[in-house]
Amino acid sequence: MTAKRKVGASQRHAPLPIVVLISGSGTNLQAIIDAVELADLPVHIRAVISNQPQAQGLERARAAGISAEVVDHTLYADRAAFDVALQAAIDRHQPALVVLAGFMRILTPEFVAHYHGRMLNIHPSLLPAFRGLDTHRRALEAGAREHGLSIHFVTSELDGGPVVLQSKVPIRAGDDATALASRVQIAEHKAYPQVIRWFAEGRLALRDNQVLFDGLALTQPLQLSETFC
């Protein structure tokens, strides 16, 4: 598929309010922050929220002058109670988009439904292959020839929402999980700001669990390419 139109970085867009959810180091968060600071991503990060009080990504947010908040999942009796508290924390910022960037919690169907069509996740595999955890190790053990990442709208099915974009990374002789993860991460830092940009520019939407790009239904995920930049 080729893009019907291109939207240059020089065109003005009202910044889209977003909230980013993290659990760890926040490298994808940093890629998003960097793109905003370069005026290459028309969003306003209203808050970064983590379920882990010691997440390094919270310091990245503070360094950028972004509200950094914690909703510690260990303080709640069950998943449903945590999700209610998390939803309240998010909704205080009235985001148009919720971005999961290494957020390591399985979300309840009620929470997911509340943000239907306005919540994205990045997953380190070429979905539907290797849903869940330890994707790099599993890809190597399976003898896969290529690996990569997928960015998808979130649904109640774990890593099963409609995929917007994928980026393929070759598996090289001698790769271990650490080396493969490092190369996938480089691709992630290019891909996630791009997909968020499309959403902010109104080029990307979800209708009845069908991804629309420039008003056309996708029959397969887009591939990371300069064609779409």
User: Is 10 within a domain?
Assistant: no
User: Is 142 within a domain?
Assistant: yes
User: Is 122 within a domain?
Assistant: yes
Other Cβ atoms less than 10 A from the Cβ of 56: the count is 15
pLDDT of 87 reads 98
User: Is 7 within a domain?
Assistant: no
CB within 8 Å of 92: residues ≥ 6 apart: none
The string of pLDDT tens digits covering residues 145-160 is 999 999 999 999 999 9
The string of pLDDT tens digits covering residues 1-34 is 334 444 444 355 689 999 999 999 999 999 999 9
The string of pLDDT tens digits covering residues 77-130 is 999 999 999 999 999 999 999 999 999 999 999 999 999 999 999 999 999 999
* CA-wise closest residue to 85 among 62, 111, 117: 111
The number of domains in the chain is 1
Q: What is the separation, in whole angstroms, between the first and last Cα of the chain? A: 13
pLDDT of 196 reads 98
**Residue 33 belongs to domain spanning:** 16-228
CATH number of the structural domain spanning residue 70: 3.40.50.170
User: Is 50 within a domain?
Assistant: yes
pLDDT of 11 reads 52
To the nearest whole number, what is the mean pLDDT of the chain?
93
User: Is 9 within a domain?
Assistant: no
Catalytic residues: 123
Q: What's the whole-number mean pLDDT along residues 185-209? A: 97
pLDDT of 177 reads 97
Q: What's the whole-number mean pLDDT along residues 197-225? A: 95
User: Is 63 within a domain?
Assistant: yes
Separation of alpha carbons 30 and 154, rounded Å: 21
- Asked if pLDDT for residue 63 goes beyond 80, the answer is yes
pLDDT of 7 reads 43
Q: Tokens for 131?
A: 């849903």
- What are the DSSP E strand ranges found in the chain? 16-22, 43-50, 68-70, 97-100, 119-123, 146-153, 163-170, 204-207, 210-213, 216-217, 222-223
User: Is 4 within a domain?
Assistant: no
pLDDT of 43 reads 98
